[in-house]
């Protein structure tokens, strides 16, 4: 398996570059990195956001003002993509757009909740090929990159633009509240005193391509990716981390790397007791205890279908800037297995990074990327 994909990889190198990044912390990848470096967090108490009027801490984009946050954010993101990369890229017959979203325009019910997505993409970017939509809970973003790589490896497209997006809605906030999964303080992934998730909203885009980027542009190379189911519970993480363990192993084989060579892990780290514990068990089983790791949920909140994309973008930014960003909210080990959680922004030359995600439906996904030589 590893050898086969290794051969494919030598046939078509896959490059990943910044597309767009709109979060509570900024409207471009660079602004986001600047803000994260300063230790800012987009997670703030939002008054009366809960079902019973609770003030939950949430990652809210304050600049969104229209009645429909989803269509406004998608339109803004597409406009940012068009302004930065030019419309020709999207109109080429060798370009595909992939959207990753869990609930898309859920507030448009009883209309179909994914119809406005196609409409806005068409209006703003007018692509030659109809966009492909992935909706696979919190691993959607990582799957959107893996699927992009599949299409490029097979030679079906030269460039795939993977966009991840989800917004704050009563639907989502009330739902996580009903599961007693929300934290009353900004979430503290992997910390001893963590009590739950902070939900957030964001959009991000990554350009995945077989076309080598201009020499002055930063890029990372996609080495491999995979998914795996826990086969355990639809909304509770596995107690053994089986799915995550298998996905990381499978990804390492496809990437043809030894896990010991990883320099950094961007974990999922939601801040719930069970999720973070599950991740620590999976990482421990793989001997990854000493590799620097963070969760970015303390900066943005858990942005669901956008999470995989904006967290890979953040990982790329860390690699470009040679800085590991601290994992917000982490003070004291709170998982049964030891992890090397990044406590302070640290200078580091990361060559190889692993990104993981886990979600409802028992899904786990991972990818390994390599820094531009």
Q: Which is nearer to other proteins, 36 or 307 (CB)?
A: 307
Q: Does 156 engage in binding with other proteins (CB under 8 A)? A: yes
In whole angstroms, give the CA distance from residue 323 to residue 294. 12
Instruction: Provide the 3-class DSSP secondary structure of residue 149.
Output: helix
Length of the chain (residues): 373
Residues 177-216, one symbol each (x = binds other proteins by CB under 8 A, - = not), give: xxx-------------------------------------
In whole angstroms, give the CA distance from residue 245 to residue 351. 22
Size of the site for other proteins (CB under 8 A): 54
DSSP for 248-278?
A: HHHHHHHHT--GGG--EEE----S-HHHHHH
Q: Does 30 engage in binding with other proteins (CB under 8 A)? A: no
Between helices 273-285 and 242-255, what is the axis angle to 10°?
Answer: 50
Burial 64-80 (b: 16+ CB within 10 A, else e): beeeebbbbbbbbbbeb
- Min dist. Cβ of residue 75 to other proteins (A): 19
Q: Does 104 engage in binding with other proteins (CB under 8 A)? A: yes
DSSP state of 329: T
Q: Does 356 engage in binding with other proteins (CB under 8 A)? A: no
Using CB under 8 A, which of the segments 12-20, 199-207, 232-240, 260-268 binds other proteins?
232-240
Q: Does 37 engage in binding with other proteins (CB under 8 A)? A: no
Q: Does 150 engage in binding with other proteins (CB under 8 A)? A: yes
Provide φ and ψ at 268, rounded to 5°.
Answer: -80, -55
Q: Does 51 engage in binding with other proteins (CB under 8 A)? A: yes
Query: Token pair of 101, please?
Result: 């979203």
Q: Which is nearer to other proteins, 155 or 287 (CB)?
A: 155
Q: Does 175 engage in binding with other proteins (CB under 8 A)? A: yes
Query: Token pair of 69, please?
Result: 């946050």
Contact with other proteins (CB under 8 A): which of 23, 71, 77, 147?
147
Q: Which is nearer to other proteins, 75 or 118 (CB)?
A: 118
Q: Which is nearer to other proteins, 224 or 329 (CB)?
A: 224
- Min dist. Cβ of residue 80 to other proteins (A): 23
Contact with other proteins (CB under 8 A): which of 76, 198, 210, 226?
226
In whole angstroms, give the CA distance from residue 363 to residue 365. 7
Using CB under 8 A, which of the segments 15-23, 66-74, 120-128, 221-229 binds other proteins?
221-229
Q: Does 136 engage in binding with other proteins (CB under 8 A)? A: yes
Q: Does 241 engage in binding with other proteins (CB under 8 A)? A: no
- Min dist. Cβ of residue 227 to other proteins (A): 5
Contact with other proteins (CB under 8 A): which of 93, 112, 261, 331?
112
In whole angstroms, give the CA distance from residue 275 to residue 363. 12
DSSP state of 219: -
Question: Which residues, numbered 279-298, are part of the site for other proteins (CB under 8 A)?
Answer: none
Using CB under 8 A, which of the segments 35-43, 76-84, 134-142, 195-203 binds other proteins?
134-142
User: In sequence order, what are the beta bridge partners of 17?
Assistant: 207
Helix then strand then coil, in percent of the chain rounded to 5, is 35, 25, 40
In whole angstroms, give the CA distance from residue 175 to residue 116. 23
Q: Does 13 engage in binding with other proteins (CB under 8 A)? A: no
Q: Does 92 engage in binding with other proteins (CB under 8 A)? A: no
DSSP for 83-121?
A: HHH-HHHHHSTTEEEEEE-SSSSGGGTTS-TTHHHHHHH
Q: What is the largest CA-CA distance in the chain?
A: 57
The residues binding other proteins (CB under 8 A) are 1, 4-5, 8, 51, 102-104, 106, 109-110, 112-114, 130, 132-137, 143, 147, 150-151, 153-154, 156, 170-171, 174-175, 177-179, 226-235, 242-243, 246, 250, 254, 360-363
């Amino acid at each position: 398996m590893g050898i086969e994909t290794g051969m494919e990889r030598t046939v078509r190198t896959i490059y990943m570059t910044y597309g767009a990044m709109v979060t509570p912390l900024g409207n471009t990848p660079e602004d986001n990195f600047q803000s994260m470096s300063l230790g800012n967090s987009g997670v703030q108490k939002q008054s009366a956001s809960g079902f019973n009027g609770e003030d939950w801490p949430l990652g809210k984009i304050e600049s969104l003002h229209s009645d429909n946050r989803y269509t406004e954010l998608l339109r803004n993101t597409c406009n940012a993509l068009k302004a930065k990369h030019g419309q020709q890229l999207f109109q080429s017959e060798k370009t595909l757009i992939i959207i990753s979203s869990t609930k898309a325009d859920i507030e448009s019910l009883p209309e179909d909740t994914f119809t406005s997505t196609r409409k806005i993409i068409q209006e703003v970017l007018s692509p030659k090929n109809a966009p492909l939509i992935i909706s696979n809970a919190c691993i959607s973003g990582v799957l959107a990159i893996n699927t992009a790589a599949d299409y490029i490896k097979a030679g079906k497209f030269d460039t795939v633009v993977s966009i991840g997006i989800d917004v704050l809605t009563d639907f989502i906030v009330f739902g996580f509240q009903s599961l007693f999964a929300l934290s009353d303080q900004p979430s503290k992934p992997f910390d001893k005193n963590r009590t739950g998730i902070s939900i957030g909203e964001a959009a991000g885009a990554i350009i995945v391509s077989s076309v080598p980027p201009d020499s002055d542009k930063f890029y990372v190379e996609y080495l491999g990716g995979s998914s795996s189911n826990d086969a355990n519970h639809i909304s509770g993480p596995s107690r053994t981390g089986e799915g995550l363990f298998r996905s990381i192993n499978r990804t390492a084989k496809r990437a043809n790397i030894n896990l010991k060579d990883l320099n950094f892990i961007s974990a999922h780290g939601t801040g719930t007791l069970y999720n973070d514990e599950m991740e620590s068990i999976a990482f421990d089983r793989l001997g990854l205890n000493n590799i620097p790791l963070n969760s970015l949920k303390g900066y943005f909140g858990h942005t669901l279908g956008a999470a995989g994309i904006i967290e890979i973008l953040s990982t790329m930014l860390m690699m470009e800037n040679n800085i590991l960003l601290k994992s917000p909210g982490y003070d004291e080990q709170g998982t049964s297995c030891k992890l090397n959680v990044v406590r302070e922004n640290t200078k580091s030359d990361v060559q190889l990074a692993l990104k993981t995600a886990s979600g409802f439906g028992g899904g786990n996904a991972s990818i390994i990327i390599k820094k531009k030589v």
